Amino acid sequence: MTAPPANWRRELRTMVALAVPVVFSELGWMAQGVVDTIMVGKLGPAAIGAVAVGNAVYYTPSLFGMGLLLGLDTLVSQAYGRKDHDECHRWLAQGVYLACIATPPLMLLAGAASLGFVRFGIAPQVAVSAASYLRVLLWSTLPLLLYGAARRYLQGVGEVRVITATYVGANLVNWFLNWVLIYGKLGFPALGVDGSAISTGFARVFMAIALIGFAWRYERRRGHPLFRHWAAPQLARLKALVRLGAPAAGQILLEVSAWNLCTFAAGWLTPVALATHTIALNYASVTYMVPLGVSAAAAVSVGHAVGAGDAPRARRAGWLALGLGVSFMLMAAVVFVAAPGPLIRLYTDDPRVLAVGPGLLGLAAAFQIFDGIQTVSTGALRGLGETRVPMFANLLGYWVLGLPLGFSLCFWLKWGIYGMWIGLTLALIVIASLLIVRWRRDSARVAGMVFQAPDSHQVLDSSLFP
């Protein structure tokens, strides 16, 4: 039975209200890195390189840690859909415990990597500063993960505007402390790139405290005090959270490492190829933030509907989110094709980059829609409790098909950076096709079931789908 148009319009408004603040939050996350790079820029190329290398090494394990907490999207949103607020609190508590458990090994892993920068061929003047920057940045891991747990909780209960406000505040804190600590203002010593790492750490402490404070205020206002019955660690719940989060973390790791490997490989070509790759990737990364925000809104909206036992609404929410994400990416593709020159000139007037750039932006335009589909589908499936299929889709798309093809075209057939991006485009087409087929199948089966909302100890996941 088709839903009345009023339902679609109401749910579209709800989806947009969830997605827009989350999109701005993702852009705020990007802005922190941009601020750090700009603020150390006056120290010279070695300082810029040190921050870039330190962040690249740090974010690989830390994003895995953040990914472990993605299961909260499913668990909190489904509990909220059932109006089981105490269960939402219990899952937040387990997320906090998981953040504390995951922090030490993540810090050790990144810290060990900092000892090998020179051995991997990084210039000594960059390697020394990068290692020092990274060792300072490590101490912000726990507040980063605590922020991640609080953010997932607030998204799960539909409180997303405070996340955007927190990012605005965090970027202001980061900018001000960068100015003070990098250059030695207001009587403080000039700490250079280490000052930037300290600034980032304070910004993350601010983010964690702010979001936990917002969660406490929100629950007190609703009459469900957050800390009145704070749950102790529960092994079964921690296992459930990891069972959902670990594949999501693996998916992030597979995707991020694939693009990082291509950036590293672009450095084996020419400075022009690397610069053009970096510019095109920056634009693709900015447009990616929109479907990433819509993906989070899809996970929450689908989870709410599942928790409420409204399977048709869960399916509509996923398709609405896909429509929003694809529509934006279609517009982005048109811009990439119509105005590549002006976009590249925002970065450089180098005629060699301007000659290569339009081709790469054309390839970026070709995969925009598929990038939107795969990103939003991942969120919609997470709302159902399915996190394994996106991981396997990324493994197949990038590491079995896309990267081997891209490297073959780039280095064997001598197509250069274009060959690399053709491989990446194929990867996104494959991943998007697999995930939208899976979403169509799973959501149809859920909508066709005699649906019972799961009780407070269950989560709807792929085991329900034969």
Averaging pLDDT over each range in 25-29, 34-38, 199-203, 457-461, which range is the top one? 199-203
Distance from C-alpha of 399 to C-alpha of 261, rounded to nearest angstrom: 11
Higher pLDDT, 120 or 457: 120
Q: Which pLDDT score is estimated for 447?
A: 64
Q: Which pLDDT score is estimated for 111?
A: 86
Q: What is the mean pLDDT of residues 411-434?
A: 94
For tokens 């996923």, the residue is 318
N-terminal to C-terminal alpha carbon distance within the chain: 24
Q: Which pLDDT score is estimated for 454?
A: 44
Task: Note whether 79 and 91 are within 8 A (CB).
Answer: yes
Higher pLDDT, 289 or 127: 289
DSSP three-state, residue 346? coil
Identify the band that residue 450 occupies on the pLDDT scale cut at 50, 70 and 90.
very low
- Please give the mean pLDDT across all residues of the chain: 87
Distance from C-alpha of 231 to C-alpha of 296, rounded to nearest angstrom: 26
pLDDT in tens, 337-347: 999 989 988 87
Beta-carbon contacts of 263 under 8 Å, excluding residues fewer than 6 positions away, are 274, 277, 278, 281
Q: Which pLDDT score is estimated for 12?
A: 78
pLDDT in tens, 304-332: 999 888 888 889 999 999 999 999 999 99
pLDDT in tens, 4-52: 565 677 777 878 888 888 888 888 877 777 777 778 777 776 777 777 7
Q: What is the mean pLDDT of residues 210-227?
A: 88
Q: Which pLDDT score is estimated for 6?
A: 56
Q: Which pLDDT score is estimated for 185?
A: 92
Distance from C-alpha of 461 to C-alpha of 304, rounded to nearest angstrom: 14
Please report, for the chain, the start and end positions of each structural domain, with discontinuous segments joined by +: 15-233, 244-466
Q: What is the mean pLDDT of residues 85-94?
A: 93
Distance from C-alpha of 314 to C-alpha of 303, rounded to nearest angstrom: 7
Q: Which pLDDT score is estimated for 121?
A: 65
pLDDT in tens, 353-381: 888 889 999 999 999 999 999 999 999 99
Taking 80 as the threshold, does the pLDDT of residue 416 lie above it? Answer: yes
Identify the band that residue 130 occupies on the pLDDT scale cut at 50, 70 and 90.
confident
pLDDT in tens, 392-403: 999 999 999 999
Q: What is the mean pLDDT of residues 385-391?
A: 94
Distance from C-alpha of 296 to C-alpha of 23, rounded to nearest angstrom: 9
DSSP label of 3? P
For residue 414 the two structure tokens come to 């001598």
Taking 80 as the threshold, does the pLDDT of residue 123 lie above it? Answer: no
Q: What is the mean pLDDT of residues 124-151?
A: 90
Q: Which pLDDT score is estimated for 24?
A: 82
Higher pLDDT, 334 or 268: 334
Q: Which pLDDT score is estimated for 456?
A: 43
Query: Which segment of 16-20, 101-105, 107-111 scores lowest on mean pLDDT?
Result: 16-20
Taking 60 as the threshold, does the pLDDT of residue 455 lie above it? Answer: no
Taking 50 as the threshold, does the pLDDT of residue 461 lie above it? Answer: no
